[in-house]
């Protein structure tokens, strides 16, 4: 869909890929509702919006709070008068520890933000989207949804849940005005460890090779490209594309490669 003149809601808009999505959408002529639990980050995004700030609204919301997300949908309608698209980008990782050592509070938090937060957004905004001439839902999953990462098993499970739910939505909405896209980013240069409270939970192995990661602005550009083209699914980054193919041809080998890299 062409985003010029459209109203788009972006979660995780206070930093990383989310901030880049917000700024690129504004430059393309969209009005944007940026959502994040980090109010300071949202204000920083607003500052970066410059001349486009009049088309931006910012909303501090805990996506794990069902009532707060439904209140958000009403607030966005009140401010922008309608909603044409949502991009569910917000997500957190877990500390790099095995399931056996991960406490239930952190397990619940990862599932609440990554899966239930996405579900609440879909449930809250879909009734509005169905009323528009053209609308779109873009859900950001992860390469970790199809290839296991040791120490991120719960994160991967949450993103796999987002994957399957989104694919189901696509089938359910195929005869409507609402398009649906699922996105699988690989390694992207963001502060997700810091914002997830997982900073310092993994120390690189001695001699471990540094792998090139995709920049947040490039990742955002590819996500918006997938939305514009109404793609069914999109892998973002060379690592995501390679592991997508390998995980289907030889899932055990794909898992082994990642496990060996992380030690």
Q: Please state the domain count of the chain.
A: 1
Within-domain flag for 2 = no
For 20-57, give one letter per residue: b (16+ CB within 10 A) or e.
bbbbbbbebebbbbbbbbbeebbeebbeebeebeeebb
Round to whole Å and give the CA distance between 208 and 102. Answer: 25
Q: pLDDT digits over 127-142, tens only?
A: 999 999 999 999 999 9
Question: What confidence category does residue 187 fall into, taking pLDDT thresholds of 50, 70 and 90?
Answer: very high
Within-domain flag for 70 = yes
Round to whole Å and give the CA distance between 167 and 170. Answer: 5
User: CB 148: neighbour CB atoms within 10 A?
Assistant: 19
Structure token digits, residue 227: 């939305």
Round to whole Å and give the CA distance between 83 and 126. Answer: 9
Judge residue 236's burial from the number of C-beta atoms within 10 Å of its C-beta, 0-12 exposed, 13-18 middle, 19 or more buried: buried
Geometric angle at alpha carbon 125, from 75 and 183, rounded to 5°: 125
Round to whole Å and give the CA distance between 104 and 42. Answer: 29
- Which residues 6+ apart lie within 8 Å of 71 measured at CB? none
Question: What confidence category does residue 191 fall into, taking pLDDT thresholds of 50, 70 and 90?
Answer: low
Within-domain flag for 172 = yes
Round to whole Å and give the CA distance between 85 and 180. Answer: 10
CATH number at residue 78: 3.40.50.720
Q: pLDDT digits over 241-251, tens only?
A: 999 999 999 99
Q: pLDDT digits over 48-104, tens only?
A: 999 999 999 999 999 999 999 999 999 999 999 999 999 999 999 999 999 999 999
Within-domain flag for 210 = yes
Residue range of the domain that includes 231: 7-199+206-262
Whether the predicted pLDDT of 199 surpasses 60: no
Within-domain flag for 1 = no
- 0.85 cut: is pTM over it? yes
3-class secondary-structure state, position 177: coil
Question: What confidence category does residue 196 fall into, taking pLDDT thresholds of 50, 70 and 90?
Answer: very low
Within-domain flag for 165 = yes
Q: Average model confidence (pLDDT) for the chain?
A: 93
Whether the predicted pLDDT of 161 surpasses 70: yes
Write down the pLDDT at residue 262.
81
Q: In this predicted structure, which of 25-29, 170-174, 212-216 has the lowest mean pLDDT?
A: 212-216
């Amino acid at each position: 869909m062409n985003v010029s003149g459209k109203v788009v809601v972006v979660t995780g808009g206070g930093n990383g890929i989310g901030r880049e999505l917000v700024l690129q959408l504004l430059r393309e002529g969209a009005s944007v509702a940026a959502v994040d639990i980090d109010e300071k980050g949202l204000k920083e995004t607003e500052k970066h919006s410059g001349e486009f700030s009049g088309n931006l609204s910012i909303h501090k919301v805990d996506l794990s709070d069902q009532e707060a997300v439904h209140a958000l949908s009403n607030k966005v309608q009140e401010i922008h008068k309608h909603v044409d698209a949502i991009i569910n980008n917000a997500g957190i990782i877990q500390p790099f520890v095995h399931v056996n050592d991960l406490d239930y509070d952190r397990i619940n938090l990862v599932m609440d933000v990554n899966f239930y937060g996405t579900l609440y957004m879909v449930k809250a905004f879909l009734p509005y989207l169905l009323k528009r001439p053209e609308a779109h839902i873009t859900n950001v999953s992860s390469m970790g949804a199809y290839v296991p990462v040791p120490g991120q098993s719960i994160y991967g499970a949450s993103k796999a849940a987002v994957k399957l739910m989104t694919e189901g939505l696509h089938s359910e909405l195929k005869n409507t005005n609402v398009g649906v896209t699922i996105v699988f980013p690989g390694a992207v240069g963001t502060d997700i460890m810091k914002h997830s409270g997982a900073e310092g939970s993994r120390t690189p192995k001695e001699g471990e090779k540094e792998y090139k990661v995709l920049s947040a602005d490039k990742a955002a550009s590819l996500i918006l490209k997938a939305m514009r083209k109404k793609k069914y699914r999109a892998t973002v980054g060379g690592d995501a594309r390679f592991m997508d193919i390998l995980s289907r041809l030889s899932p055990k080998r794909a898992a082994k490669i990642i496990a060996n890299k992380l030690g």
